């Protein structure tokens, strides 16, 4: 790579380094700031210093001692995992059909799911609020899982059908010619090829569910199904005289950890997943 | 698809019958595989949309449930003559236009950096994914505390100790900044996918012919990237139009900073007025449909969905 377009001079390298440092700082400063807040002691919380003058784990200890946060964390994890699992399974089925089979209404399905992906979520909140209250789904796990699946499905179908189009399906036929049963051909040949795409999609869908705030705040009313982003916005500190800043910062850092892990380990996949659907149309 | 159509006339009648038998099975399987996805989307998105149309024609306030009745378009008149609604609409449009415009410029710069950097490409890409992935509420709290006088690092240095989040225009600017920070990487990734389509040879040839860097950008890269740019713009415009999380945490819609989503939420969940809330929902839906329609009309097949089955 380095050879293209002449030798890479030290000057050019230095210029790129400066640009890169700028980009990394842009991305990380707000995150480091909330991390810094979460480690500040009560006394130094208001000093406005970017780096804590005194460090403490008290904020973390405090939030994990409240049911408010722990319950919300359990809700967040459970709801996001279930919604992701269902959306990916149904999305995989639909995407396989779209990528490989010819059937009536295929374009309509693609069009409609694109429409849903671009939907203003608030437009669904009012009717869902009323429908879920009538059906008894309001403030329950399924009450959040269902809208998450609905909005995750278009994302899953889009990303997966783009991935599936790239799979060399002739290999399946070749395996069958060599005497493999359809089941074996699928397990040994197709599944390993499709797995990375499915996995990438699962990450994107999980991030979407993990991130949601509007549905979570509108369709829940108690701790029993409130997710962390919503619980955060209701934090008042352990007593009403206490400033909740430290607790909010600590809780915010906790729910950022999975995102950081995904990004660190699956950077390439996430980039591929985000861009595949968009470029392929 | 087109291959199958071309091949068909050449087959003998017998083979054709077998093919259509196979075709039927294929259709059945296709529909069967899509059925769960279609059912869920129809039940949780399709039906509620129709239902909200119905609700929007009712006077329906959960505080006075016995006064519920069909009022036709009264709610629409109420909303469309309400100054709060129009203020929220302008705030939303302002945030959308400014943030998308800035993001396009910044995103393009970021895409070029990510695409061409000679050192540390992995680190750059990894760190730009963090704003994309981070929970919006978390980022919003980070900004809120950063701008809070006494607590924040930006409040003293940039704002000179002014409580920026309590005045309309500065607050809208902060919200827009938070929005730009969060979504520029997404824009950049979409643009980068377009950049990857620009042939290197073409750029080299242009450079040989004496085109400056700017000319190479406007005359070679942008035309090739046009579809990617339009997709990114459409995605981001519609996404910015539904802004809610950032506003909720940063200003909670005070001082006239409500977006249309925020106003709807307040009428619906806080005010428990289902009729008015649904009317606003329908109006936002229409606004989004108009934006999407304008994009597709202006840019034709370059817009997603315009070319149907997709390019291969």
Token pair 């919380």: residue = A45
State the helix-helix crossing angle for B13-41 and A141-166, rounded to 10 degrees. 150
- Beta-carbon separation of A267 and B285 below 8 A: no
Residues 43-102 on A with a CB inside 8 Å of B are: 45-46, 48-50, 90-91, 93-94, 96-98, 101-102
- Beta-carbon separation of B242 and A105 below 8 A: no
Res B300: pLDDT: 59
Residues 166-195 on A with a CB inside 8 Å of B are: none
Q: Tell me: the pLDDT tens digits for B101-153?
A: 999 999 999 999 888 877 778 888 888 889 999 999 999 999 998 888 877 77
Res B309: pLDDT: 35
**Does position A6 have pLDDT exceeding 90, yes or no?**
no
**Does position A2 have pLDDT exceeding 60, yes or no?**
no
DSSP three-state, residue B58: strand
φ, ψ at A40 (rounded to 5°): -75, 150
Of the two residues A204 and B302, the one the predictor is more confident about is A204
Task: Count CB pairs under 8 A between chains A and B.
Answer: 320
Q: Give me the mean pLDDT over the A228-242 stretch.
A: 74
> What does the alpha-carbon distance between residue A205 and residue A151 come to, in Å, rounded to a whole number?
9
Q: Which of A31-40, A266-275, B13-22, B119-128 has the highest mean pLDDT?
A: A31-40
Cα four-point dihedral sign A148, B232, B307, B195: negative
> What does the alpha-carbon distance between residue A49 and residue B174 come to, in Å, rounded to a whole number?
20
Nearest alpha carbon to residue A213 among A277, A121, A139? A121
Of the two residues B70 and B300, the one the predictor is more confident about is B70
Residues 5-34 on A with a CB inside 8 Å of B are: 5, 8, 12-13, 16-17, 19-20, 23-24, 26-28, 30-31, 33-34
Res B310: pLDDT: 36
Q: Is A35 on the interface with B (CB under 8 A)?
A: no
Nearest CA in chain B to A103: B27
3-state per-residue secondary structure call for chain A: CCCCCCCCCHHHHHHHHHHHHHHHHHHHHHHHHHHHHHHECCCCCCCCCCCCCCECCHHHHHHHCCHHHHHHHHHHHHHHHHHHHHHHHHHHHHHHHHHHCCCCCHHHHHHHHHHHHHCCHHHHHHHHHHHHHHHCCCCCHHHHHHHHHHHHHHHHHHHHHHHHHHCCCHHHHHHHHCCCCHHHHHHHHHHHHHHHHHHHHHHHHHHHHHHCCHHHHHCCCCCCCCCHHHHHHHCCCCCCCCCCHHHHHHHHHHHHHHHHHHHHHHHHHHHHHHHHHHHHC
Give contacts of B151 with chain A, Cβ < 8 Å. Answer: 37, 45-46, 48, 245
Kindly report the nearest CA distance between residue A229 and chain B, in angstroms: 6
**Does position B17 have pLDDT exceeding 90, yes or no?**
no
- Beta-carbon separation of B37 and A279 below 8 A: no
Res B303: pLDDT: 43
Range of lowest pLDDT (A172-176, A234-238, B120-124, B300-304): B300-304
Kindly report the nearest CA distance between residue A94 and chain B, in angstroms: 4
Q: Is A270 on the interface with B (CB under 8 A)?
A: yes
Q: Give me the mean pLDDT over the B4-16 stretch.
A: 48
Nearest to B248 among A5, A93, A233 (CB): A233
Kindly report the nearest CA distance between residue A278 and chain B, in angstroms: 7
| Strand-pair category, B69-70 with B58-59 | antiparallel
Nearest CA in chain A to B225: A279
Q: Is A110 on the interface with B (CB under 8 A)?
A: yes
> What does the alpha-carbon distance between residue B295 and residue B236 come to, in Å, rounded to a whole number?
12
Q: Is A272 on the interface with B (CB under 8 A)?
A: no
CA distances from A268 to A165, A271, A273, B122 (A): 19, 5, 9, 9
Give contacts of B122 with chain A, Cβ < 8 Å. Answer: 267
Confidence of residue B284 (pLDDT cuts 50, 70, 90): very high
**Does position B36 have pLDDT exceeding 50, yes or no?**
yes
Q: Give me the mean pLDDT over the A123-141 stretch.
A: 89
**Does position B83 have pLDDT exceeding 80, yes or no?**
yes
Kindly report the nearest CA distance between residue A101 and chain B, in angstroms: 6
Of the two residues B14 and A198, the one the predictor is more confident about is A198
Kindly report the nearest CA distance between residue A275 and chain B, in angstroms: 6
Res B89: pLDDT: 94
- Beta-carbon separation of A48 and B40 below 8 A: no
- Beta-carbon separation of A126 and B124 below 8 A: no
Confidence of residue B9 (pLDDT cuts 50, 70, 90): very low
Nearest alpha carbon to residue A73 among A273, A275, A254, A265? A254
Give contacts of B253 with chain A, Cβ < 8 Å. Answer: none
- Beta-carbon separation of A126 and B309 below 8 A: no
Res B2: pLDDT: 39
Pick from B7, B19, B34 the residue to mutate for testing the A interface (most A CBs within 10 Å).
B34
Tokens for A4, please give them.
């293209």
Q: Is the pTM of this model over 0.95?
A: no
- Beta-carbon separation of A122 and B265 below 8 A: yes
Res B13: pLDDT: 55
Partners of residue A40 on adjacent β-strands: A55
- Beta-carbon separation of A97 and B34 below 8 A: yes
Res B243: pLDDT: 92
**Does position B4 have pLDDT exceeding 70, yes or no?**
no
Res A99: pLDDT: 87
Tokens for A243, please give them.
């400033």
**Does position B3 have pLDDT exceeding 70, yes or no?**
no
Nearest to B129 among A165, A232, A263 (CB): A263
Kindly report the nearest CA distance between residue B83 and chain A, in angstroms: 20
- Beta-carbon separation of A120 and B120 below 8 A: no
Kindly report the nearest CA distance between residue B33 and chain A, in angstroms: 5
Give contacts of B117 with chain A, Cβ < 8 Å. Answer: 16, 19-20
């Amino acid at each position: 790579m380095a050879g293209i377009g002449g030798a890479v001079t030290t000057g050019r390298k230095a210029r790129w380094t400066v640009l890169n440092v700028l980009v990394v700082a842009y991305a990380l400063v707000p995150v480091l700031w909330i991390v810094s807040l979460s480690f500040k002691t009560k006394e130094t919380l208001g000093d406005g210093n970017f780096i804590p003058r005194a460090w403490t784990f008290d904020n973390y200890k405090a939030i994990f001692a409240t049911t408010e946060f722990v319950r919300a964390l359990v809700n967040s994890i459970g709801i996001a995992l279930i919604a992701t699992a269902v959306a990916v399974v149904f999305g995989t089925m639909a995407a396989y059909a779209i990528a490989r089979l010819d059937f009536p209404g295929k374009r309509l399905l693609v069009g409609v799911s694109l429409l849903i992906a671009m939907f203003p979520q608030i437009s669904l909140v009012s009717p869902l609020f009323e429908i879920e209250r009538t059906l008894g789904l309001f403030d329950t796990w399924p009450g959040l899982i269902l809208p998450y699946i609905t909005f995750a499905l278009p994302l899953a179908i889009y990303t997966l059908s783009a991935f599936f189009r790239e799979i060399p399906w002739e290999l399946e036929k070749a395996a069958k010619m060599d005497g493999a049963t359809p089941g074996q051909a699928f397990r040994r040949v197709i599944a390993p090829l499709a797995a990375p795409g499915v996995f990438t999609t699962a990450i994107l869908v999980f991030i979407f569910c993990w991130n949601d705030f509007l549905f979570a705040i509108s369709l829940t009313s108690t701790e029993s199904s409130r997710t962390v982003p919503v619980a955060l916005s209701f934090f008042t500190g352990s007593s009403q005289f206490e400033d909740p800043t430290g607790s909010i910062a600590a809780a915010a850092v906790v729910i950022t950890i999975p995102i950081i892990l995904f990004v660190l380990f699956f950077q390439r996949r996430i980039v591929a997943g985000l861009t595949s659907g968009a470029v392929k149309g | 698809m087109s291959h199958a159509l071309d091949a068909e006339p050449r087959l003998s009648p017998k083979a054709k019958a077998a093919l259509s038998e196979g075709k039927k099975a294929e259709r059945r399987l296709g529909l069967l595989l899509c059925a769960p996805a279609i059912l869920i989307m129809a039940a949780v998105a399709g039906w509620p949309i129709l239902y909200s149309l119905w609700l929007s024609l009712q006077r329906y306030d959960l505080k006075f449930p016995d006064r519920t009745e069909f009022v036709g378009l009264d709610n629409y008149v109420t909303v469309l003559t309400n100054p709060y609604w129009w203020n929220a609409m302008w705030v939303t449009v302002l945030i959308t236009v400014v943030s998308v415009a800035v993001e396009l410029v910044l995103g393009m710069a970021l895409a070029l950096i990510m695409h061409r950097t000679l050192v540390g490409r992995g680190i750059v890409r990894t760190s730009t994914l963090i704003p994309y992935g981070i929970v919006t509420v978390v980022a919003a709290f980070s900004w809120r505390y950063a701008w809070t006088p006494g607590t924040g690092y930006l409040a003293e240095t940039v704002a000179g100790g002014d409580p920026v989040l309590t005045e309309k225009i500065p607050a809208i600017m902060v919200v827009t900044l938070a929005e730009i920070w969060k979504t520029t990487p997404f824009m950049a990734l979409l643009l980068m996918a377009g950049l990857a389509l620009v042939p290197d040879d073409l750029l080299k040839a242009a450079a040989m012919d004496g085109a400056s860097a700017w000319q190479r950008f406007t005359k070679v890269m942008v035309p090739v990237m046009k579809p990617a740019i339009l997709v990114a713009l459409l995605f981001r415009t519609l996404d910015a139009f539904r802004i809610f999380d950032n506003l909720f945490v940063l200003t909670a819609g005070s001082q006239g900073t409500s977006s249309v989503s925020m106003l709807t939420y307040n009428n619906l969940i806080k005010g428990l007025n289902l009729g008015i809330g649904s009317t606003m929902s329908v109006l936002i839906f229409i606004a989004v449909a108009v934006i999407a329609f304008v994009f597709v009309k202006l840019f034709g097949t370059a817009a997603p969905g315009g070319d149907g089955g997709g390019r291969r």
